[in-house]
Each structure stands twice: as structure tokens, then as C-alpha cells.
Amino acid sequence: MANNSNGGYETIWTDKKRTLFGLPLSFTRYILTEKKFITRKGFLSITEDEIELYRVVDKSLRLPFGQRIFGCGTVIINCRDTDTPVKEVVSIKNPRDFMNIFEKQVDIQRDKYRTRGRDMMASDIHMGCDHDDYDD
């Protein structure tokens, strides 16, 4: 089932930033599609930030006590994106489950574009290149 509000891509996972007591009382929504990770912020005026999954280099998990007691955590995503080299997916439910789903989609996209995080980093360091498009 394709969702046109996400660029025509199927939504694989979505959640809201959690606030007090782990409740989704925020106007920040995180959306994972088959090709992109989207952060949508706002109520009347909406701002979206997208990261192409094949550009993701690394991810880590932060579980502060205040989030952990409500089953939440923050995932930090490092990627080769000029606008957002570090993306924090703040206070989401079941962050380990999200990391597993996210990693699977990143691997699918890396295979599709024949790139790996270490390959992107090594080629940029040694060649001094800035590749904006990995399309074949």
C-alpha cells in the first residue's frame, strides 16, 4: 500500500517523538519508507527533512533513564547528508526494534546502490570527492 504523502513510497515504520510519561504529545513524526527516513515537524507550518537510506554510515542507541522507564530511547544516525550529517530520532517507543527494521532497510538500499558505509567514507577520504548521486 503506497502512501502518496511520503513520495509514493510505502511506510514501513512510523512513530512520534514521545514527551512526558512516554506519551506521543509532540508535533514531530518520524517516518521510515523503503528508500528514505523522513522527519516531519510542525502543526500549521510543516518542515520535512529526508535522508536517503543508502547514505547512512552508522547508528547508535542512547537510553537515558527518563526515557528508558517508559520504554523509549533515542537513536542517533550518522550519514553522508549535507543538510543533516547527524540525525537524532528522539524518544521513540521500542528503539531496538526500530534499529533492526532501519538496519534491514539500509542494507537493502546499500545493496541496490552497491555502496557500503565504509566504502563511501574510504573513497571520500582517499579521493577527496563529494559524490551527491550514486545512481547507476
The tens digit of pLDDT for each residue in 49-108 reads: 999 999 999 999 999 999 999 999 999 999 999 889 999 999 999 999 999 999 999 999
Say which residue the cell 508535533 belongs to. 27
- Cell numbers placing 55: 547514505
Domain boundaries, the chain: 4-113
CB atoms within 10 A of CB 17: 20
pLDDT at site 2 = 47
Residue 7 DSSP one-character state = T
Name the residue among 111, 113, 52 with its Cα closest to residue 80.
Answer: 52
| Verdict on whether the full-model pTM lies above 0.85 | no
3-state secondary structure of 35: coil
pLDDT band of 115, cuts 50, 70, 90 = confident
* Summary mean pLDDT of the chain: 86
Name the residue among 86, 81, 83 with its Cα closest to residue 131.
Answer: 81
Distance CA 42, CA 29 (A): 9
Our CA angle for 63, 15, 33, nearest 5°, is 110
pLDDT band of 121, cuts 50, 70, 90 = low
Domain 4-113 has CATH 2.30.29.30: yes
pLDDT band of 114, cuts 50, 70, 90 = confident
